Amino acid sequence: MRIALFVACYNDTLFPETGIAVTRVLERLGHTIEFPIEQTCCGQMHHNTGYQKDAVPLVRRFVSIFRDAEIVCVPSASCVAMIREHYELIAQQEHDPDFAREVRNLLPRIFEFSELLVERLGVDDVGATFPHSVTYHPSCHSLRMLNVGDGPYRLLRQVRKLELVDLPNQDQCCGFGGTFAIKNADVSAAMLSEKNREVLETGAAVITALDNSCLMQIYGGLHRQGSSVRAMHLAEILSSSEVDR
Amino acid sequence: MSVRVGKTDRASSFPVAAKAALRNDQLRRNVRNATDIIRAKRALRIDEMPDWEQLRQAASDIKMHTLAHLDYYLEQFERNCEQAGGKVHWARDADEANTIAAALIKQYSGDQPAEVIKVKTMTSDEIQMNVALEHAGIRAYETDLADMIVQMSSDEPSHIVVPALHKNRFEVREIFREQMGLVDLGDQPADLTDAARSYLREKFLRIKIGISGANFAIAETGSVCVVESEGNGRMCVTMPNVLISLIGIEKVIPTFQDLEVFLQLLPRSATGERMNPYNSFWAGVEPGDGPTAFHIILLDNGRTALLKDERERETLDCIRCGACLNACPVYRETGGHAYGSIYSGPIGAILSPQLQSLEHSRSLPYASTLCGACYEVCPVKINIPEILIHLRGKIVREEQATLRGSLSAECLAMRAMGTIFLSHRRYESAQRLARLGQKIFERNGQLTNLPGLAGAWTEFRDLRPLPKQSFRDWWKTRVEAAVSSEEAS
Amino acid sequence: MSLPLTAREEILARIRAALPDLKVPVETSHASITRSYGRCSSLDRGGCLQLFIDRLIDYDTKVIELTDETELPAAVQQALQDAGEDRLLVPSGPLQTLAPENVNVYVDHGLTTPELDRAQAVLTTCEAAVASTGTIFLVHGGDQGRRALTLLPDHHICIVCRDQVYGSLPEALAAIRSQSARLITSISGPSATSDIEMVRIRGVHGPRRLTVLLYGDL
């Protein structure tokens, strides 16, 4: 299958290893990855912060870049939530029927990385080996907007030598919330310290999620505390094999 | 028209007020403890309900239907209520409602001291009725245990359902000791409840005017429903000679039968009970039972302004259960006072800024991570995150319309990012620039002290610097390598 | 010159200006709301009654089960005795005959508030009950008394006939629908509060004790 990768701007810039891991996992499964180089941002940050007018050209841009893709893989649950929850509404508000039709046609082909594996490709076992203890934080957007359910757990359970540890109160937000982390930094930090207390309680060596944004928050807090717990996107765990770890 | 939502005029912005709340460990412990207990009870009760989602959907449909025909149902309610012997007054705003209430109380008190007993009504807190009554020389006694604690300590409610949840038993004992003159009062919740019972009993039996709110106003019957637990509601609507009920216009529902939906959702969402101890229903006056005069004040106070836009209109579906507060990770850190409005938590963050246009409430739509926990628990399915985003849009548009706003650091940054993202070449240049620019802030492989807006990030968290190679750089190298190896072969 | 609008006119005008003119009649639109939630309990009569009893007990209500109504006077006596009470309030009418001989009976022929306040217990019937929530509905007047009767005494003894118990709330509300404009109180357990540290305390301003006498055929 030809899979177009929308890596997400912040992954591209800050977490290239996630895009690399997605590419490796999908290629290992025999798929062909395309990376349209014109891609930038899905418009989420602008839209959710209130700069909705500025988000519209980004939405149009995204749709025009990916409209012919067979499948679009997005290793960021919050970007997928933006696309699924808001693109149609934005198109409607633009009163542009062609644009609205393109959005409608594109939406069923957009998949978050774990959704693509479990729901679209029907794969639980990607042949990974990762000899570490791991705890999984279900990010709010993956949990409540995408309803990814147990997909990520199924994938993690199939990883050889991986010890999966449950995160207590896992449905609690980490406090990131995009610009919330800046605008309400004190509350964000208070929420984070609770999340991290629980992460540390698990004793896991690695915390994983479907969103590097939440992981950036969690890792940022852990590192400030001097903790050595690593934060890794699910794709990075799934791309690991005995050889490179 | 002057729309007010509690004592908001002297409130600070949410981030400032939240910072102060975060320093109060006792308050945070109390809030955490109380919300943990209600959440656990709620979860237990909702697990018993296989048709919970269908009930939520029906509730949302009934509310949206009612609001779409609000004029019809208000007139129907008014007609039926008056036919049953009630008198309906209409109030455009807080001042008008307070003036009507004070005039009625004065009129019925005659030459007796003007006193009223009140059963918990958020709407009266919204219009600051107690302050207005005090100015008119009327003494109002709150009779809900938590409201009484708040009133006696000159505090503000911090939760829609449990207004004094920020106070623990020892704090309550001190308040009661001082206000009731009970030196030997114990600190067990049972002792404190007993003290409240004796203190109020005399007032229930003596004071001749009662004030209530309403959970539901039923158009079909013209009757009012008050949902409560302690029996103070029954006292206030039964024992006085005169009853005044203050009702927000959005509280009307079409039929008695519609209660089969709301009375299943409300108690389970609010307190985690299958049913709260008491629901009182009455239409007008009934000879030989209860008040001989019954007045209703139907209050707008900014509500009609929310009707036009369907997204905003959804806000009026709220049945004030408080489930979104208990579920909200932001509320759970700060408690209710940080919201600077009697409506706190996620519902407050959308309701307060829409009912009023005060400066501080502009920070409320940003007091959320958009985590969606509020929408998940809302019994009438108000999509609070979507409304928050909608309100953020309104605020930004207003800001951008002013010179100062359009030149703010945030606005400039967002506009710059918007332009950068429109071209992948500009975006790639920006990535290169950022990599160069970050060098002076790197300490031991981390960014720990960034300037400007990003400083709020590094105040609490480290940030890994941008790696030397972006994903697209890696991709390009890979493609080039593939091409050259192809050429070589 | 036109008169200034009244508040009523202005609020209604604001509403009408904000809402689009809907073509569908209100009643049709209300009737078309999907109600796919459970209207009827799936339990049989026996299961329903057992659930009712369980729910009552769960919410601190005492239940005395009887086979037929001839046992009611003894049950009333027992309920009073167990609570150590001897001042019983009854609505005027047939319930007076159920009052035990060894107690002071206050019959409500229009008693004053201080008189009501002296009673320790009150005896009434009810209109309907809900098994799933352990709720009793009173439609006030007659044997169910005016509202103050079941409010001031510390102990409410309520006679519930088994055929008045409905499985679900929708069923019970449907049963009392013809009286929906009357004075109605629903009661689920004794009065309670959790306002201090979420600790549930029984007995605030309403009755501290609730006893249900359950009689009659299934």
Taking only the tens place, the pLDDT of each residue in B145-162 is 999 999 999 999 999 999
Same domain for A87 and A185? no
In order, the DSSP letters of B315-345 are: GGG-----HHHHH-HHHHHH-SGGGSSSS-H
Look at residue A128 and tell me if it is in a domain: no
- Domain span(s) for CATH 3.40.50.10420 in chain B: 8-306
Could you report the per-residue pLDDT of C71-104, keeping only the tens digit for each?
Answer: 999 999 999 999 999 999 999 999 999 999 999 9
Look at residue C37 and tell me if it is in a domain: no
Q: Can you tell me which residue has the tokens 């409905």? A: C166
B276 interaction partners in chain C (CB closer than 8 Å): 188
What confidence category does residue C1 fall into, taking pLDDT thresholds of 50, 70 and 90?
A: low
Q: What integer pLDDT is reported at residue A102 of this predicted model?
A: 97
Q: How many domains in chain C?
A: 1
CB < 8 Å from B in window 103-162 of C: 110, 113-114, 117, 130, 132-135, 140-141, 146-148, 151
Same domain for A63 and A111? yes
Q: Interface partners of C (3+ CB pairs, < 8 Å)?
A: B
Look at residue C11 and tell me if it is in a domain: no
The residues, ordered by sequence, that sit 6+ positions from A97 with a Cβ below 8 Å of its Cβ are none
Same domain for A138 and A114? no
Alpha-carbon distance of B81 to B85, in angstroms, equals: 7
Could you report the per-residue pLDDT of A206-221, keeping only the tens digit for each?
Answer: 999 999 999 999 999 9
Half-sphere exposure of residue B174: CA atoms within 13 angstroms, side-chain side: 5
Residue B253 has pLDDT above 90, yes or no: yes
Instruction: Out of A86, A120, A154, pick the residue that ends a domain.
Output: A120
A199 interaction partners in chain B (CB closer than 8 Å): none
Q: What integer pLDDT is reported at residue C217 of this predicted model?
A: 83
Q: Best mutation site among B93, B229, B253 for testing chain C: the one with the most C CBs within 10 Å?
A: B229
Tokens of B234: 């029954």
Q: What integer pLDDT is reported at residue B486 of this predicted model?
A: 84
Tokens of B360: 């501080």
Q: What integer pLDDT is reported at residue B357 of this predicted model?
A: 66
The phi and psi torsions of A9 (rounded to 5 degrees) equal -55, -40
Same domain for A72 and A50? yes
Task: Among B373, B397, B460, select the one facing A185 at the smallest CB separation.
Answer: B460
User: In terms of pLDDT, which residue wins out, C1 or A92?
Assistant: A92
Q: How many domains in chain A?
A: 2
Tokens of A33: 């990855």
Q: What integer pLDDT is reported at residue C87 of this predicted model?
A: 97
Residue C38 has pLDDT above 80, yes or no: yes
Could you report the per-residue pLDDT of B59-103, keeping only the tens digit for each?
Answer: 999 999 999 999 999 999 999 999 999 999 999 999 999 999 999
B474 interaction partners in chain A (CB closer than 8 Å): 16, 19-20
Task: Report percent pLDDT > 70 for chain B.
Answer: 97
Average pLDDT over residues B378-403: 95
User: In terms of pLDDT, which residue wins out, B445 or C88?
Assistant: C88
Strands A133-136 and A163-165: parallel
Is the Cβ–Cβ distance between B399 and B363 less than 8 Å? Answer: no
Could you report the per-residue pLDDT of B188-223, keeping only the tens digit for each?
Answer: 999 999 999 999 999 999 999 999 999 999 999 999
The residues, ordered by sequence, that sit 6+ positions from B226 with a Cβ below 8 Å of its Cβ are B119, B212, B213, B214, B215, B233, B237, B279, B280
Say yes or no for a CB contact (<8 Å) between B38 and C198: yes
Q: What is the mean pLDDT of chain C?
A: 95
Look at residue C27 and tell me if it is in a domain: no
Residue A31 has pLDDT above 90, yes or no: yes
Look at residue C25 and tell me if it is in a domain: no
Look at residue C24 and tell me if it is in a domain: no
Could you report the per-residue pLDDT of A51-107, keeping only the tens digit for each?
Answer: 999 999 999 999 999 999 999 999 999 999 999 999 999 999 999 999 999 999 999
Could you report the per-residue pLDDT of B257-276, keeping only the tens digit for each?
Answer: 999 999 999 999 999 999 99
Task: For residue C193, give the nearest of A48, B443, B144 by alpha carbon.
Answer: B144
Residue B21 has pLDDT above 80, yes or no: yes
Task: For residue A238, give the nearest of A16, A17, A6, A22 by alpha carbon.
Answer: A22
Residue B1 has pLDDT above 60, yes or no: no
What confidence category does residue A242 fall into, taking pLDDT thresholds of 50, 70 and 90?
A: low
Say yes or no for a CB contact (<8 Å) between B431 and A173: no
Could you report the per-residue pLDDT of C149-195, keeping only the tens digit for each?
Answer: 999 999 999 999 999 999 999 999 999 999 999 999 999 999 999 99
**In one letter, which amino acid is B67?**
L
Q: What integer pLDDT is reported at residue B9 of this predicted model?
A: 54
Residue B8 has pLDDT above 60, yes or no: no
Q: What is the pTM of this model?
A: 0.96
Taking the Cβ of residue B310 and every Cβ of chain C, the question of whether any pair is shorter than 8 Å is answered with no
Residue B32 has pLDDT above 50, yes or no: yes
What confidence category does residue A245 fall into, taking pLDDT thresholds of 50, 70 and 90?
A: very low
Task: For residue A13, give the nearest of B437, B433, B431, B436 by alpha carbon.
Answer: B431
Look at residue A127 and tell me if it is in a domain: no
Is the Cβ–Cβ distance between A161 and A194 less than 8 Å? Answer: no
A15 interaction partners in chain B (CB closer than 8 Å): 471
Say yes or no for a CB contact (<8 Å) between B466 and A14: yes
Residue C109 has pLDDT above 60, yes or no: yes
Residue B359 has pLDDT above 70, yes or no: no
Same domain for A84 and A160? no
Residue C42 CA to its chain's centroid (Å)? 23
**ipTM value for the complex:** 0.96
Note down the domain range covering A116.
2-120
Look at residue A111 and tell me if it is in a domain: yes
Same domain for A106 and A149? no
Average pLDDT over residues A149-168: 97
Average pLDDT over residues B225-250: 98
Task: For residue B334, give the nearest of A200, A182, A183, A189 by alpha carbon.
Answer: A189
By mean pLDDT, which of B250-254, B320-324, B485-489 is the weakest?
B485-489
Instruction: Out of A95, A120, A145, pick the residue that ends a domain.
Output: A120
Average pLDDT over residues B45-55: 97
Please report the sign of the dihedral spanned by the C-alpha atoms of residue B120, residue B125, residue B127, residue B130: positive
Q: Best mutation site among B326, B369, B474 for testing chain A: the one with the most A CBs within 10 Å?
A: B369
Strands (E), chain A: 2-5, 32-34, 71-74, 110-112, 133-136, 163-165, 206-209, 230-233
Q: What is the mean pLDDT of chain A?
A: 96
Residue B360 has pLDDT above 80, yes or no: no
Angle at which helices B145-152 and B189-206 pack, to 10 degrees?
A: 90
CATH code of the domain containing A80: 1.20.1050
> For the domain bounded by B8-306, which CATH number is listed?
3.40.50.10420
CATH code of the domain containing C144: 3.40.50.10420
Task: For residue B121, give the nearest of B247, B300, B243 by alpha carbon.
Answer: B247
Q: What integer pLDDT is reported at residue A127 of this predicted model?
A: 95
Look at residue A214 and tell me if it is in a domain: yes
Instruction: Out of A92, A120, A148, pick the residue that ends a domain.
Output: A120
Note down the domain range covering C193.
43-215
Q: Best mutation site among B415, B475, B479 for testing chain A: the one with the most A CBs within 10 Å?
A: B475
Residue B4 has pLDDT above 80, yes or no: no
Average pLDDT over residues B462-470: 95
Say yes or no for a CB contact (<8 Å) between B74 and C18: no
B420 interaction partners in chain A (CB closer than 8 Å): 40
Taking the Cβ of residue B411 and every Cβ of chain C, the question of whether any pair is shorter than 8 Å is answered with no
Q: What integer pLDDT is reported at residue B452 of this predicted model?
A: 86
Same domain for A7 and A116? yes
Q: What integer pLDDT is reported at residue B2 of this predicted model?
A: 57
Q: What integer pLDDT is reported at residue A244 of this predicted model?
A: 52
Say yes or no for a CB contact (<8 Å) between A37 and B476: yes
Alpha-carbon distance of B124 to B118, in angstroms, equals: 9
CB < 8 Å from B in window 67-106 of C: none
What confidence category does residue B10 fall into, taking pLDDT thresholds of 50, 70 and 90?
A: low
Q: What is the mean pLDDT of chain B?
A: 94
Residue A4 has pLDDT above 90, yes or no: yes
Task: For residue A213, give the nearest of A13, A6, A34 by alpha carbon.
Answer: A13
